[in-house]
Amino acid sequence: MAPFLVEVTEEDIRRERRKARDLRATQWWKRKRAAGVCHHCGGAFAARELTMDHLVPIIRGGKSTKGNVVPSCKPCNSARKHDLPFPTAS
Ligand SMILES: [Zn+2]
C-alpha cells in the first residue's frame, strides 16, 4: 500500500462526484469543453468526445474543483484511470 494514500470515505466520493456533475453543468466547463482540446495529449476533439478528468482522482483525495478537473479525450482518460498525475517512487 502506498505510504501517501489518503483516507477517502464513501461520503467524500459521493460528495465529489455530485460536485463534478454540478461543475459539468456550468458555463465554465462548457466553454472549456467547447475549446475541444485534450489536456493530456493536446489533440483536437469534438466537445462530446471530451470527458471530465480529475488530475488527482477522487479516490486519491482529489476534489471536484476548477483547479483539479480538465477536459480529456477518452483514450487519455482510460490510459490514466489508475495512474497518479505525478511520478511515484517505485
Ligand atoms: Zn488526449
Domains and CATH numbers, the chain: 10-80 (1.10.30.50)
Confidence (pLDDT) at 2: 55
pLDDT at 3 over 70: no
Residues 6+ apart with CB under 8 A from 2: 88
What are the helix and strand counts (H, E) for the chain? Answer: 3, 2
What confidence tens digit (pLDDT) does each residue in 65-83 have?
999 999 999 999 988 775 6
**Ligand 1 centre from 41 Cα, in Å?**
4
**Ligand 1 centre from 72 Cα, in Å?**
5
What confidence tens digit (pLDDT) does each residue in 10-65 have?
999 999 999 999 999 999 999 999 999 999 999 999 999 999 999 999 988 999 99
